Amino acid sequence: MPRMRQEPQEKRLIKCLNKMDKRPVLFLDSGIGSLPYAVFFHSRNPKERLICAADRLNFPYGTKSKEALIKLVLSFTKKLINQYNPKILAVACNTATVSTLQALREEYSELPIVGTVPAIKPAVLASRKRCIGVLGTQRTIEDPYIAELAGKFGPDCKIIGEAAPKLVDFIEYRWIKADKEERLEAVKPWVSGILNKGADALVLACTHFLFLKDEFVKAGGDKLLVFDSVEGISRRVESLIHSTNSSPDDENSGSREQKEQIYLVVSGNNILDENWKNLAAHFDISLEKI
């Protein structure tokens, strides 16, 4: 798989983004995984309009082939672009990034697109045992890009890849109902397994797992460092928006009344049930179907 490096046309795209552009930033995932990324970005950039798109109709992405994913994600993205006209697309899904980012950039060459790359680099640099765990979906763990990143930044570092589809399902369907103890119990087996295999660092290579980051940190204690890409993705989107303007803090500082709302839009034909409504209330966001 080609390395996901900056596209040549990106410098031209950046020039099109200016501080008067009120089009939304679009965060895309198969389910609710984009929310931690959007919420973090929003905390730093409260005046930016945000759309979180959950493709529940095709959830989960992690069990599908690369070819099927490209078709599904391109179709969903086309629908989102036609409806919301975003100024930037953040693919807040590791699976979709490793499988479809190149196709997305080729298909929508006029739209700046940011992918979610697993935080392999900081993990291998921090690991003293030279052994890290990478927890994600089957599609992400099997993709050669993980090995490429490890080889680039830590060729002497052993990589333990673990696919955790049941944990993704737990977060998607159960997290909002679960108490702190149930959430902690959900991650303990994964942390124990990674530690028993000799790792001292863990990469959360699925955006869903950010919902349980506190639990991963607690379960790992001082034996396991936990890494994610949420801040890196936020800074990358900010750099596209503000590269020719003032800093995010200058541009977006203000009272709560001046903040833009986050919208969670969900694909599929089913009625948005109490889980969705409770999730929207928990994060103080608006909810609608697409």
Residue 157: active-site member: no
Options 52, 93, 131, 157, the catalytic residue: 93
Options 52, 131, 157, 206, the catalytic residue: 206
Q: Tell me if residue 289 falls in helix, strand or coil.
A: strand
Residue 93: active-site member: yes
Residue partners of 42: CB distance under 8 A and separation at least 6: 48, 50, 259, 260, 262
Tokens coding 145: 């890009």
**Concatenated DSSP letters for 222-241?**
GG-EEE-SHHHHHHHHHHHH
- Total Cβ atoms within 10 A of residue 102: 18
Active site residues: 93, 206
